[in-house]
Structure 1
Amino acid sequence: MLLWLVALLAKDGRQYVYRVYAPHDALHGDLFWAAFHCHDESRRPRASDCFDSAEIWQV
């Protein structure tokens, strides 16, 4: 398992970054949804569900 970082834009104009542990060959869509659901369960303002606005990189 590798560490991926996924940055999501939120309705408050901030960018929230989430750690996602996934295999090297993980699909970016799966990483996005893992971070989105993690954000959705928190008390933070709603995140954008636009995949194109997310930044994803491997650490």
Structure 2
Amino acid sequence: MVALPSPDGRQFVYRVYAPGDALPGDVFWSAFHCHEDADSHASPPVSDAFDAAEIWHVG
């Protein structure tokens, strides 16, 4: 799971399916691109700073 913060204080959380040995940066960019590929008019922009994201393993 990856939580991406937006400037308005909200967080957008994405479930990223990746192998257990996936690099955190790859997981982050997958979530970021999921947000960018969504309807950009419906969602505010999110930070593209890796350090601003929260990443955790579920399972």
Task: Tell me which interval the TM-score lies in, with the shorter structure as reference length.
Answer: 0.7 to 0.9
- Identity percentage over the alignment? 65
TM-score by length of 1: 0.87
Q: Which runs of 5+ in 1 are unaligned?
A: none
Unaligned runs of 5+ in 2: none
Q: Partner residue of 2:16?
A: 20
Residue aligning to 1:56: 55
TM-score between the two structures when normalised by the length of structure 2: 0.87
Q: Which structure features the higher share of strand residues?
A: 1
Would you identify which runs of 4 or more consecutive aligned residues in structure 1 move more than 4 Å?
A: none
CA RMSD of aligned residues (A): 0.8
